[in-house]
Chain A
């Protein structure tokens, strides 16, 4: 048979890639059109010069796929990983993040459009915003990249110089711009650009200095953490703290951006408490210096006592920072600045950044103080020294205990101190979308990820939890005979009700396997929703609970806290709930119950033959998942106050499954990360693409994920083994399509 160029796999791949570019061209754009003009968006997308840009992207993908095997060896050269991270960070800073908050969307491009027309703006800022920013980035990356390919060190030093320039210019230009406007500035763009450029600097230095042929970034971090355990946290704290103390906004009298020193000047002689006044004028800097020295000394000396000193100093400084913010914002409120009605208003991001820095320093001290220097653990069993048992489920992300602690502390720093600087819109998204769905994903992960039962009606338990709360607090047409209780007290009851509901559904249905169970649970989800619509006398149908579910109140006798409309309060409550649930579930996963779940999922027959009561253990997974969902329901009901059966549609059940699969089935951090990313993405895309296109972009992200990383964002080791054979030293990524098929196929 004669081989034909048009039927060769390479040609087909080229066509496919060009089609991809075409599809992208249609997806990206304003998509305007009227009912009289059906083809406008299509013509705008296709019959314009920009189509060549997108076909070029398709061609690039084709070249990448075809020559992938020639490109990959370069990936293992020193400095590639930080180069990629730095590039992505700076690109994200210049496309996604805000460079000046009050100007509508405030993103880099709007700022750069505006900056051109400002007279008297510093020339450096003008140059940076008008044209320098992008070329600076690309030349830096290009130099570093060619230094890697050509192995020429001087080029890498050139890239390093440019990276330093970038790290210097970005904040200078941004503050020059912010100084010309008169509104409070919360922007994070410049700060992110600085950290991106610093990573690029690190990459360039690595390229210039490295003597190794190849580099293993993960092993490198592992070595760094064994060498000086607190180093990453201390460095991060230094960067965040310096930015916070030197350039970030602390307060906004008359909508201006007052840095720490400006705030000190502003409050001089206005009757501020002495401790706060001292902090603002000099104590803050001194504390920062002292804590930094303590954290650095602890890291350098690897001394446990110094570590505890840094930990204590960091916590005291954190307290003083928060106290100062409380005091001067109350003082601002009593002076009626910007209509402030109480403390914690009109604060900028500076105080929170300083708090994060102190938290990170304390974390560095803590990590040093608790680091375990012994390499491998052994235990004595019956007089025999053997390797300590290692669970098969230590996630691939966490190499060792120190790395896990470091990562957790960074996540906590972000979770504690980022939300106050976000806008109220994002705070609401954080609580009612991200936070609640993270909790739901944690619950579903027990059912789908650990026990291997596909549940497509999971949202029904969320609905039951919400309605149970509404009933218990007296917001439904039928009232509880024993009188109403507060939403916080409703938590245990709602959990119990969902537990029972889980058992009632699971009892008859868990004899079914796989697909059949999925269909039955799907039906159950719909039944609950339709009952909620039709049982008017019980649920008030689509009109929702009336009166609204009251906000929670924490009343411990000596301390009383009433939740209001501020979403930030709910965020911290939710954070506490999530932490408790994660700690409990983590213990459960490592226990006999967790192992029995894995056994049932892996081989039900063998599990039975080993004495596992598979029905009971599956029912348990169902009930625990349901009760977590119920907990989320209580929280949701008391936060929003008002909901309808439309909040509990099938789509939401499927989305939760998608979050768990996307994040990594069976992996607790994975399920949480998956839910967080996929709930954040649609809200983020609201500003970026037309509303109708959002689902398409999310679909594209999920699709790419399943092709290139089928184990999920953070794959579970247990699952990874199923997908990729059992050689755990192999990379975790596998392929959703069998070898020899799909895009990577050899022609």
Chain B
């Protein structure tokens, strides 16, 4: 159980951030099937304003399916998902809404396998996200009318601000595809933040990064959460990282929620230990 032991207490999550009266995502009894395969089975969970909620589980547990259901890529056959991403929003259903609409409602996300626009510069990648909130029409852009010019300036300034936050200022004019792996991860987060979200969904942001980068990433996620007041929903396999930053965890296995609770509770949960290490019964079967 060394991998689940709690270290790095300096990063301990600040529970006072979380406001459990304000629900961002209210998922109840969601079931998602592909043909005969049930990817998500009767999942219910609540995500509260200000928290870092981690979803963990073995490969194929349905974590990414859940993400895709939350962002409108998939539409579950049963259950309801209600969203109130930004402060003061009244809850509305996610089901049947297009991905970009849900993004406009204040949900940004990154992808497990990085999905940048590789042939655009780092700066332009972020600007794409920022500019989906802008209003200038193509005609205004063609004629360089005042609003188009003003928005262009605003989006450039905001993009530089995000690049600086991510430590990518020097790479502003480099093509996104030419950035190093860790830089691409951060750029993807910057692009997501550019859309001014209330909640950000990070799909395995630490995959493929080294320990130093993992520490930086943990800092970054905490900073986004505390400073910008953005709630974070996180899928991550690195237990050390997850346990050190998450307020709460939800554990999935074979499309079902098997546990939910604080890092301490989860580490002691027998169902979780069984899911991760295999059940003790099976191991003791004689050869």
- Which residues of the partner chain B approach A718 to less than 8 Å between Cβ atoms? 119-120
| Bound form: Cα–Cα A702–B14 in Å | 64
Given known contacts A588-B138, A728-B175, A609 and B111 CB-to-CB distance under 8 angstroms: yes
Pairwise interchain contact B131-A725, C-beta atoms closer than 8 A: no
Restricting to A672-717, which residues have a CB under 8 Å from any CB of B? Answer: 717
Interface residue B223 (Cβ < 8 Å from any Cβ of A)? no
B197 nearest CB neighbor, chain A only: A611
**Choice from A387, A392, A613 contacting B175 with Cβ under 8 Å:** A392
| Bound form: Cα–Cα A606–B123 in Å | 16
Pairwise interchain contact A599-B120, C-beta atoms closer than 8 A: yes
Pairwise interchain contact B103-A389, C-beta atoms closer than 8 A: no
Interface residue B64 (Cβ < 8 Å from any Cβ of A)? no
Pairwise interchain contact A613-B128, C-beta atoms closer than 8 A: no
Pairwise interchain contact A587-B144, C-beta atoms closer than 8 A: yes
- Which residues of the partner chain A approach B127 to less than 8 Å between Cβ atoms? 592, 595
1/0 per position for B189-225, CB-CB distance to A under 8 A? 0011011000000000000000000000000000000
Pairwise interchain contact A726-B116, C-beta atoms closer than 8 A: no
Interface residue A15 (Cβ < 8 Å from any Cβ of B)? no
- Which residues of the partner chain A approach B164 to less than 8 Å between Cβ atoms? 384
Restricting to A373-403, which residues have a CB under 8 Å from any CB of B? Answer: 379, 381-382, 384, 386-387, 389-392
Among B74-82, B87-95, B148-156, the stretch in contact with A? B148-156
Pairwise interchain contact A587-B132, C-beta atoms closer than 8 A: no
Pairwise interchain contact B156-A381, C-beta atoms closer than 8 A: yes
- Which residues of the partner chain B approach A725 to less than 8 Å between Cβ atoms? 177-178
Restricting to B156-197, which residues have a CB under 8 Å from any CB of A? Answer: 156-157, 159-161, 164, 169, 172-173, 175-178, 191-192, 194-195
**Choice from B116, B141, B172 contacting A386 with Cβ under 8 Å:** B172
Which among A593, A599, A717 has the highest number of chain B CB atoms within 10 Å?
A599
| Bound form: Cα–Cα A726–B171 in Å | 13
- Which residues of the partner chain B approach A389 to less than 8 Å between Cβ atoms? 121, 123-124, 156, 159, 172-173
- Chain B binding surface SS class: helix
B148 nearest CB neighbor, chain A only: A591
B104 nearest CB neighbor, chain A only: A611
Interface residue B268 (Cβ < 8 Å from any Cβ of A)? no
Interface residue B277 (Cβ < 8 Å from any Cβ of A)? no
Pairwise interchain contact B100-A599, C-beta atoms closer than 8 A: no
Distance in angstroms from A443 CB to nearest chain B CB is 14
Distance in angstroms from A457 CB to nearest chain B CB is 23
Distance in angstroms from B241 CB to nearest chain A CB is 23
Interface residue B134 (Cβ < 8 Å from any Cβ of A)? yes
Pairwise interchain contact A610-B132, C-beta atoms closer than 8 A: yes
Given known contacts A387-B173, A603-B116, A611-B132, A587 and B141 CB-to-CB distance under 8 angstroms: yes
Pairwise interchain contact B111-A390, C-beta atoms closer than 8 A: no
| Bound form: Cα–Cα A8–B111 in Å | 47
Distance in angstroms from B273 CB to nearest chain A CB is 34
- Which residues of the partner chain B approach A384 to less than 8 Å between Cβ atoms? 160, 164, 169
**Choice from A584, A605, A719 contacting B115 with Cβ under 8 Å:** A605
- Which residues of the partner chain A approach B142 to less than 8 Å between Cβ atoms? 584-585, 587-588, 591
Pairwise interchain contact B129-A392, C-beta atoms closer than 8 A: no
- Which residues of the partner chain A approach B108 to less than 8 Å between Cβ atoms? 609-610
Pairwise interchain contact A390-B118, C-beta atoms closer than 8 A: no
| Bound form: Cα–Cα A121–B46 in Å | 99
Pairwise interchain contact B141-A593, C-beta atoms closer than 8 A: yes
Interface residue B117 (Cβ < 8 Å from any Cβ of A)? yes
Pairwise interchain contact A611-B118, C-beta atoms closer than 8 A: no
Interface residue A727 (Cβ < 8 Å from any Cβ of B)? yes
Interface residue B1 (Cβ < 8 Å from any Cβ of A)? no
Pairwise interchain contact A610-B103, C-beta atoms closer than 8 A: yes
Pairwise interchain contact A721-B141, C-beta atoms closer than 8 A: no
Interface residue A722 (Cβ < 8 Å from any Cβ of B)? yes
Interface residue A233 (Cβ < 8 Å from any Cβ of B)? no
Pairwise interchain contact A386-B152, C-beta atoms closer than 8 A: no
Restricting to A431-458, which residues have a CB under 8 Å from any CB of B? Answer: none
Given known contacts A392-B175, A593-B138, A606 and B100 CB-to-CB distance under 8 angstroms: no
| Bound form: Cα–Cα A624–B139 in Å | 11
- Which residues of the partner chain A approach B138 to less than 8 Å between Cβ atoms? 588, 591, 593, 620, 624
| Bound form: Cα–Cα A389–B127 in Å | 11
Interface residue A647 (Cβ < 8 Å from any Cβ of B)? no
| Bound form: Cα–Cα A598–B117 in Å | 8
- Which residues of the partner chain A approach B172 to less than 8 Å between Cβ atoms? 386-387, 389
Given known contacts A596-B131, A610-B132, A726-B178, A588 and B141 CB-to-CB distance under 8 angstroms: yes
| Bound form: Cα–Cα A387–B156 in Å | 11
Interface residue B287 (Cβ < 8 Å from any Cβ of A)? no
Interface residue A612 (Cβ < 8 Å from any Cβ of B)? yes
| Bound form: Cα–Cα A599–B176 in Å | 12
| Bound form: Cα–Cα A11–B71 in Å | 58
- Which residues of the partner chain A approach B151 to less than 8 Å between Cβ atoms? 592
Given known contacts A609-B111, A610-B132, A726 and B99 CB-to-CB distance under 8 angstroms: no
- Which residues of the partner chain A approach B144 to less than 8 Å between Cβ atoms? 587
B121 nearest CB neighbor, chain A only: A392
- Which residues of the partner chain B approach A614 to less than 8 Å between Cβ atoms? 100
Pairwise interchain contact B136-A591, C-beta atoms closer than 8 A: yes
- Which residues of the partner chain A approach B285 to less than 8 Å between Cβ atoms? none
| Bound form: Cα–Cα A469–B150 in Å | 38
Distance in angstroms from A634 CB to nearest chain B CB is 19
Pairwise interchain contact B161-A392, C-beta atoms closer than 8 A: no
**Choice from A584, A587, A602, A624 contacting B120 with Cβ under 8 Å:** A602
Given known contacts A602-B118, A602-B119, A726 and B124 CB-to-CB distance under 8 angstroms: no
Which among B71, B115, B128, B178 has the highest number of chain A CB atoms within 10 Å?
B128
Pairwise interchain contact B103-A609, C-beta atoms closer than 8 A: yes
Which among B71, B99, B161 has the highest number of chain A CB atoms within 10 Å?
B99
Distance in angstroms from B279 CB to nearest chain A CB is 37
| Bound form: Cα–Cα A722–B118 in Å | 8
Distance in angstroms from B102 CB to nearest chain A CB is 9
Interface residue A608 (Cβ < 8 Å from any Cβ of B)? yes
B123 nearest CB neighbor, chain A only: A389
Given known contacts A592-B155, A596-B128, A603-B115, A721 and B175 CB-to-CB distance under 8 angstroms: yes
Given known contacts A389-B156, A610-B103, A592 and B131 CB-to-CB distance under 8 angstroms: yes
- Which residues of the partner chain B approach A382 to less than 8 Å between Cβ atoms? 157, 160-161
Pairwise interchain contact A610-B175, C-beta atoms closer than 8 A: no
Interface residue B37 (Cβ < 8 Å from any Cβ of A)? no
Interface residue A649 (Cβ < 8 Å from any Cβ of B)? no
Interface residue A607 (Cβ < 8 Å from any Cβ of B)? yes
Distance in angstroms from A55 CB to nearest chain B CB is 44
| Bound form: Cα–Cα A595–B141 in Å | 12
**Choice from A603, A613, A620 contacting B117 with Cβ under 8 Å:** A603
A621 nearest CB neighbor, chain B only: B138
Distance in angstroms from B40 CB to nearest chain A CB is 19
- Which residues of the partner chain B approach A620 to less than 8 Å between Cβ atoms? 138
Pairwise interchain contact B157-A381, C-beta atoms closer than 8 A: yes
- Which residues of the partner chain B approach A605 to less than 8 Å between Cβ atoms? 73, 99, 111, 115
Pairwise interchain contact B115-A606, C-beta atoms closer than 8 A: yes
Pairwise interchain contact B160-A381, C-beta atoms closer than 8 A: yes
**Choice from A390, A722, A727 contacting B119 with Cβ under 8 Å:** A722
| Bound form: Cα–Cα A221–B121 in Å | 26
| Bound form: Cα–Cα A381–B108 in Å | 25
B134 nearest CB neighbor, chain A only: A592
Pairwise interchain contact B119-A381, C-beta atoms closer than 8 A: no
B156 nearest CB neighbor, chain A only: A389
| Bound form: Cα–Cα A599–B124 in Å | 9
| Bound form: Cα–Cα A382–B111 in Å | 30
| Bound form: Cα–Cα A72–B53 in Å | 59
Q: Could you list some 6 contacts between A and B, CB below 8 A?
A: A392-B175, A591-B148, A608-B100, A610-B195, A611-B103, A719-B119
Residues of B within 8 A of A (CB): 71, 73, 98-100, 103-104, 108-109, 111, 115-121, 123-124, 127-129, 131-134, 136, 138, 141-144, 148, 151-152, 155-157, 159-161, 164, 169, 172-173, 175-178, 191-192, 194-195
Across the A-B interface, give the 7 residue pairs with the lowest CB-CB distance, nearest first.
Answer: A591-B141, A611-B132, A726-B177, A726-B178, A592-B131, A606-B115, A611-B103
Extra pairs beyond A384-B160, A609-B103 (6, CB < 8 Å): A390-B173, A592-B136, A592-B152, A610-B195, A722-B119, A726-B175
